Structure 1
């Protein structure tokens, strides 16, 4: 747990208070964690265009769809192995070993590319495992450092690092891929990962976990610190990742929430793509001499769409998320995204016009990338160390990907057998969001019992 005993705030801490409440002694750890996840997300977004180039050039869009389903199957093996490893080694060795393994894989992929080895499907599957497991491991580490009260405040800054990493990683690709080449970006990502590991080890040495002694007395601080340091060198207790989820009601509800969220969101992406395509076809049919091709119209739309979503997400993360958590708490914050999604898909079901659907998905995605991403990490703050590292891996990887697979199955059934219209898919999403709202309400009640402080308004606490 971070030491907050100092009363005076530094200029940096006063600056960060523009975005969330940062107390004396907290700024450096929060910014270092933000830098850590910034580097991890930058590495992923450096690799994302490489992944797309290799899978589409080597197999096509159909193979890409099948490979996405294959990622969920691989996670059924990867997640239990990660849990077993966490039971055998210390936290430091676990994080260092897993991160270095993924960095070493990138060097191996680069070597195989030099001898003309086909990499499309294998690399696609590997990136799908990497981009879920390594961020989940980071957030388990961040949860291990902060207690619930600290995490609710400071995760706003940490999550901003993730959002910024996604933007800058994509921009780095834009700058370098043409001059360096596709395969050389693997080496760039490997270097970024190793750098992120240096930050992790710095934080490991300079902080202590919040789970063991959340409210220590001052005169016992030294002894407690030594006990915590010893605990960090011990492996986690035995127990399977998936069994932890299914045997704990709170964790199972979070897992179902993540499955539903991704099922709805991915289906929503299909609704948007279908609407964009129909709009482009209609535009060209009405204007045969239109100066842009169908591909250019679609590309221009998505370029503007992603820009607005990313900017809106960053603004929400900086200026809105902390205020919602401070004045309304986690329970209310959990309900905001499904309420936005419910209203949006009601609009899409009755008015499937591109102008409406675009802003529905803009609001949904920007809220997902900012508020929802922060709240989902906060939910693990009151859990045990084993649950943070093991159960969180299962939830943030397999259950997230399972939502994507269910969406793909829905789209396949809806287009092949049921002949669903765009409105039909929107109506199904409305039903799914209603279930999502119920699950979010139940999770909020569980969180209130685990963290009673959250049941009071932040104004009363002040």
Structure 2
């Protein structure tokens, strides 16, 4: 039910203020703010439960290994979740769908909170919750943008999506900061499980805001009747719809490729940061430091536990009494390495989020307005290509840190906005059904593809440069697909204008 752009009128003070970020016309301000606040709270709620997800799975024995395998499990789960969502979406009007699905996930958070108090469930809760979060965070975000696509016309979406995207960018930053503040290791304000209830509360507010947007837009412009479909055509599922339309499967391939490239880059960054951190930690922690640390009575049991856990691999043939100082030094090096890695990533994410918010607030809308959608669509892959080529030439952490900061900041701002704009000219069913399949399953398959490449690289003992070469090839394919998407979009618009577009 995208309303047509209203006739020019006098803008309210709110709309004049929003004009600092993008072009907002008279009558559009309130809905734009409601959607922006909605996605802000949605992302904040997700970042509230991320620490819970990490705490539950990493506290398990072998949790780090389980975590690395969960991408494939989530992809399999989405094969069932997406068709189930599609069946529900076909039966409900948009407000009941969006509100109902959001409250459905709210109820799950309450259930997980209750399960956290049952000791018998604890050994399995980490895996179950990690799987659930992998479905939740992809489906609710995809649903929000489908809803926004349904609210706005193509012309409105191109102007107002950059503003709505500010809510997503700032929500991620605010959620991370608040989660860190609330669960601070030194002085936590709430326990980790209470974060589930706080997240549930924010999601409930999101459901209310979605209903308000629907009510407001329905009162201004009555919801359009369903688009005519051939009576003898069977209703297709989400995946069948994607495969049927060239435009949709090109978006699916595009989503898989940019996720593949990004996840490869994250692997390279983690590998280089961890390698540098290990070297630095060994230089910083001396045997004298270990002796001084062992002099504190409560530290010796920690060293002994570390020795027993790693005797077979690191201390074969040794006894604890005969290697106390070396064991303590190894333990301190490990802890210092973890601290250096954590600090490096905290710094990296700070700059990524800062630049991402600034780009979203002041660059994205202007770039789309003055350079046009088509030119803007190639900015992100060109940055990713420059990053990959630079790593082929100089495979160093300093180079990758700069490249990945630019790449991720552009991904979280410009790319996130543009890839949601791709759905503006599609039908309602495509927005709610096919978009779920693309933004969940195909994005997750990009992560799975990267995991398979990393496994191959480990088997072949690849250096970081080899992964950069792989990214150059992948970005080249990505650029070809991006060009094909723009051509297919023209054809899809022509089909829809002629009344020939079927789901």
Q: TM-score of the superposition, structure 2-length normalised?
A: 0.83
CA apart distance, 1:319: 0.9
What does 1:68-83 correspond to in 2, within 5 Å?
68-83=71-86
CA apart distance, 1:168: 1.1
**What is the distance in 1 between the residues matched to 2:75 and 2:440?**
8
CA apart distance, 1:426: 0.7
**What is the distance in 2 between the residues matched to 1:98 and 1:328?**
37
| Structure 2 runs not aligned, ≥5 long | 228-233, 290-332, 495-503
What does 1:245-324 correspond to in 2, within 5 Å?
245-285=242-282, 293-324=336-367
CA deviation map 1:207-231 (0-9, x unaligned): 149xxxxxxxxxxxx9xx4462x65
Look up the SS of the partner of 1:19 in the other structure. Answer: coil
**What is the distance in 1 between the residues matched to 2:372 and 2:213?**
28
The match for 1:160 is 166
What does 1:23-422 correspond to in 2, within 5 Å?
23-58=25-60, 59-116=62-119, 117-118=121-122, 119-177=125-183, 178-208=188-218, 225-226=221-222, 228=224, 238-285=235-282, 293-415=336-458, 417-422=459-464
CA 451–134 in structure 1, closer or farther in 2 if over 3 Å, else same: same
Larger radius of gyration: 2
CA deviation map 1:409-459 (0-9, x unaligned): 1101110x211100011101110010001001111222344568xxxxxxx
CA 325–286 in structure 1, closer or farther in 2 if over 3 Å, else same: same
Is this contact kept in 2: 1:330–1:444, CA < 8 A?
A: no
The match for 2:477 is 435
Look up the SS of the partner of 1:207 in the other structure. Answer: helix
**What is the distance in 2 between the residues matched to 1:448 and 1:168?**
38
The match for 1:8 is 10
Matched length: 432
**What is the distance in 2 between the residues matched to 1:381 and 1:159?**
15
CA apart distance, 1:288: 5.5
Look up the SS of the partner of 2:378 in the other structure. Answer: helix
**What is the distance in 2 between the residues matched to 1:199 and 1:181?**
28
CA 345–159 in structure 1, closer or farther in 2 if over 3 Å, else same: same
CA apart distance, 1:336: 0.8
CA apart distance, 1:323: 1.3
**What is the distance in 2 between the residues matched to 1:167 and 1:74?**
29
Look up the SS of the partner of 2:91 in the other structure. Answer: coil
Is this contact kept in 2: 1:263–1:403, CA < 8 A?
A: yes
CA apart distance, 1:6: 4.4
CA deviation map 1:289-336 (0-9, x unaligned): 599921222111111110000000000001111111111222111111
CA deviation map 1:176-201 (0-9, x unaligned): 23221011111111111101111000
Look up the SS of the partner of 2:23 in the other structure. Answer: coil
**What is the distance in 2 between the residues matched to 1:284 and 1:148?**
53
Q: TM-score of the superposition, structure 1-length normalised?
A: 0.90
With 5-14 and 284-293 compared, the bigger mean Cα shift is at 284-293
Is this contact kept in 1: 2:247–2:488, CA < 8 A?
A: yes
Is this contact kept in 2: 1:275–1:352, CA < 8 A?
A: no
Is this contact kept in 1: 2:5–2:156, CA < 8 A?
A: no
CA 90–390 in structure 1, closer or farther in 2 if over 3 Å, else same: same
CA 173–286 in structure 1, closer or farther in 2 if over 3 Å, else same: closer
Is this contact kept in 1: 2:36–2:163, CA < 8 A?
A: yes
**What is the distance in 1 between the residues matched to 2:340 and 2:363?**
33
CA deviation map 1:200-257 (0-9, x unaligned): 0000111149xxxxxxxxxxxx9xx4462x659xxxx932000010000000000000
CA deviation map 1:253-290 (0-9, x unaligned): 00000000111100100000111122223334555559
